[in-house]
């Protein structure tokens, strides 16, 4: 756990978060033992399907689409069962407990970055559906969402949240934590080219 002064430096209140493997998690919604258990103990089966994304990237829309595909377009399931029950979150306590006790092929969701993802996945034949969104849109969507919830300390302004985002202090850490090293390097190269006309020092390339 970081000292209080370090929490302040990173833009977060000590009471709102706990840090695990370099990622801030909202204490109101997560438990350290569940995050650790999902990585080290949770068993993903060959027949499972996992929807993975960075927060505010269209996860719920994708879940609805996948559920309709699974029911061959019949909307009865999505109209009668909440999406968090149809596709529980691996890193939330309720979702974790639901999934470990569920039989048959499972549909599940996660915002966990690569280094916190269940280790069992890499020994399985399970399918992952990954959705990615333009980071500018994900940033604005997250800012609006968190301004209207009490899940985390509300940012004072979009500018404040923009600073948090650039420092990698999003709810699931750095947006590029979901990238491989090669993807991160490619993104940096393309982004620098597109931002070439902006004042020097505006973006922290190094």
Strands (E) across the chain are located at 17-20, 23-26, 49-53, 107-110, 127-131
* Domains contained in the chain, CATH given: 4-30+134-191 (no CATH), 42-131 (3.40.50.300)
Instruction: Give the Cα separation of 190 and 204 in Å (integer).
Output: 15
pLDDT digits (tens, 9 = 90+) for 119-158: 999 999 999 999 988 888 988 998 888 788 766 667 778 8
Cα dihedral 19/21/24/26 (nearest 10): -70
Instruction: Give the Cα separation of 203 and 109 in Å (integer).
Output: 32
The pLDDT score that the predictor gives to residue 27 is 82
The pLDDT score that the predictor gives to residue 188 is 79
Instruction: Give the Cα separation of 55 and 150 in Å (integer).
Output: 16
* 168 within 8 A of 24, measured Cβ to Cβ: no
The pLDDT score that the predictor gives to residue 157 is 84
> Would you please indicate which residues are annotated as catalytic (active-site) residues?
111
Strands (E) across 93-188 are located at 107-110, 127-131
* pTM of the full structure: 0.78
pLDDT digits (tens, 9 = 90+) for 158-182: 888 888 787 776 666 677 777 777 8
* 50 within 8 A of 110, measured Cβ to Cβ: yes
Length of the chain: 206
* 153 within 8 A of 12, measured Cβ to Cβ: yes
Instruction: Give the Cα separation of 114 and 124 in Å (integer).
Output: 15
Average pLDDT value for residue range 96-124: 93
The pLDDT score that the predictor gives to residue 203 is 62
* 143 within 8 A of 161, measured Cβ to Cβ: yes
The conformation of residue 120, written as its DSSP 8-state character, comes to G
Binning pLDDT at 50, 70 and 90, where does residue 1 land? Answer: very low
**26-42: b (≥16 Cβ within 10 Å) or e:** bbeebeeebbebbbeeb
């Amino acid at each position: 756990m970081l000292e209080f002064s370090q929490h302040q430096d990173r833009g977060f209140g000590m009471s709102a978060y706990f840090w695990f493997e370099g990622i801030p998690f909202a204490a109101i919604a997560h438990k350290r033992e569940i995050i650790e258990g999902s990585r080290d103990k949770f068993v993903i089966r060959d027949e499972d399907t996992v929807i993975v994304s960075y927060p505010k990237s269209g996860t719920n829309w994708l879940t609805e689409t996948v559920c309709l595909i699974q029911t061959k377009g019949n909307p009865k399931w999505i109209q009668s069962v909440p999406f968090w029950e149809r596709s529980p979150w691996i890193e939330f306590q309720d979702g974790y407990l639901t999934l470990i006790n569920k039989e048959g092929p499972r549909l599940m969701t996660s915002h966990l970055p690569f280094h916190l993802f269940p280790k069992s996945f890499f020994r399985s034949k399970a399918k992952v559906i990954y959705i990615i969104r333009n980071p500018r849109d994900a940033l604005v969507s997250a800012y609006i969402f968190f301004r209207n919830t009490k899940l985390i300390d509300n940012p004072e302004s979009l500018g404040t949240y923009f600073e948090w985002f650039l420092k990698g202090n999003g709810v699931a850490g750095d947006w590029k934590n979901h990238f491989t090293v090669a993807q991160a390097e490619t993104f940096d190269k393309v982004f620098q080219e597109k931002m070439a006309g902006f004042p020097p020092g505006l973006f922290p390339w190094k």
